[in-house]
């Protein structure tokens, strides 16, 4: 097993982020591991399996736990028992073992990038993108958003942004925008093209706030087949302004000010 980059098998390529007023500072860590076993790709070319991860490192314990639980495998209690490096070594080891009996081996890869996309006094948002291939017809990929409220020192739920008793209004506006976006009639069934339970439109918990509104993202297989890719649904603030909580309004103000 080899590592690229200076001290990549530990926490390499660490860069200090410029601190902002009333925001949390962090460093970036880049870990890359490669298998020493190569795969013949034909025409004299070879390739190999790799594990590549970029993630922020905070001094705040709760945030680091959130980062690690996003990146790594967890038990039933949500606890991680491996480091990023150990997770990478296990992935490489699995490949090295599987390649032994595979008559037509292909290189594997596992890429993860966890980046901070909003960082204000009341709101910290992460975008976690991943892409993985471990054999078969195609790999898997996706994007997951994680939201955190620094003042509460806890994760931020949709109910913290939208009044619980107003969720029906959010759902109604979201479905209207979704149907327009997907060119579906007002009364047309969703059963034929989508995977919504009982054919009823639903929002998931994969969301993030930006300057213009709230974005929901459905990953592959979630509401459409793999071939259709991911689906983004953006709901502008003008459609939810009257149903946002005080915290939601404060976050909106801070984001739009930056």
- Exposure string over 70-88, b if 16+ CB within 10 A, otherwise e: bbbeeeeeeebeeebbebb
What's the pLDDT band for 73 if we cut at 50, 70, 90?
A: confident
CB burial class (10 A; 0-12, 13-18, 19+) of residue 257? exposed
Question: How many other C-beta atoms are found inside a 10 Å radius of the C-beta of residue 192?
Answer: 8
2 close to 52: Cβ distance less than 8 angstroms: no
- At residue 22, the pLDDT reads 56
Per-residue model confidence as pLDDT tens digits over 132-185: 999 888 999 999 999 999 999 999 999 999 999 999 999 999 999 999 999 999
Residue 255 scores a pLDDT above 60: yes
Cβ neighbour number for residue 173 with a 10 Å cutoff: 16
10 pLDDT above the threshold of 50: no
Residues 54-64 have a mean pLDDT of 93
pLDDT for 55 beyond 80: yes
Over residues 239-243, mean pLDDT = 97
Lookup: tokens for 5: 């980059």
Do the Cβ atoms of 49 and 109 come closer than 8 Å? yes
By three-state DSSP, how is residue 202 classified?
coil
Distance CA 34, CA 45 (A): 17
- Count CA atoms within 13 Å of residue 26 on its CB side: 22
Range with top average pLDDT, 74-88, 100-114, 169-183:
169-183
Averaged pLDDT, 201-218: 98
pTM over 0.85: yes
pLDDT for 43: 79
Structural contact between residues 55 and 25, judged by C-beta atoms closer than 8 angstroms: no
Residue 100 in this model has a pLDDT that exceeds 90: no
Q: Alpha-carbon distance 122 to 120, whole Å? A: 6
What does the pLDDT look like over 11-44, one tens digit per residue? 344 444 444 445 789 999 999 999 999 898 877 7
Q: Is the pLDDT of residue 217 over 60?
A: yes
Half-sphere exposure in the Cβ direction for 128 (13 Å, CA): 16
Between 2 and 123, name the one with better pLDDT.
Answer: 123
CA distances from 258 to 20, 61, 114 (A): 10, 26, 21
Mean of pLDDT over the chain: 89
């Amino acid at each position: 097993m080899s590592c690229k980059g200076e001290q990549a098998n530990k926490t390499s390529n660490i860069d200090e982020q410029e601190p902002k007023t009333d925001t949390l500072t962090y460093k970036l860590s880049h870990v890359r591991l490669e298998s020493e076993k190569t795969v013949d790709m034909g025409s004299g070319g070879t390739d190999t399996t790799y594990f590549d991860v970029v993630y922020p490192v905070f001094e705040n314990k709760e945030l680091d736990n959130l980062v690690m639980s996003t990146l790594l495998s967890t038990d039933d209690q949500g606890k991680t028992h491996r480091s990023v490096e150990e997770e990478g070594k296990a992935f490489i080891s699995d490949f090295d073992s599987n390649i032994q009996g595979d008559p037509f081996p292909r290189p594997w890869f596992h890429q993860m990038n966890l980046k901070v996309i909003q960082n204000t006094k009341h709101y910290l948002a992460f975008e976690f993108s991943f892409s993985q291939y471990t054999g078969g017809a195609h790999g898997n990929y996706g994007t997951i958003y994680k939201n955190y409220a620094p003042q509460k020192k806890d994760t931020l739920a949709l109910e913290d942004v939208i009044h619980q008793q107003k969720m029906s209004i959010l759902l109604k506006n979201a479905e209207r925008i979704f149907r327009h976006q997907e060119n579906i009639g007002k009364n047309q069934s969703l059963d034929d093209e989508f995977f919504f339970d009982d054919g009823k439109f639903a929002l998931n918990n994969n969301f993030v706030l930006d300057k213009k509104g709230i974005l929901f993202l459905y990953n592959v297989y979630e509401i459409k087949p793999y071939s259709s890719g991911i689906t983004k649904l953006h709901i502008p603030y003008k459609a939810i302004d009257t149903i946002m909580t005080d915290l939601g309004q404060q976050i909106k103000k801070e984001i739009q000010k930056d």
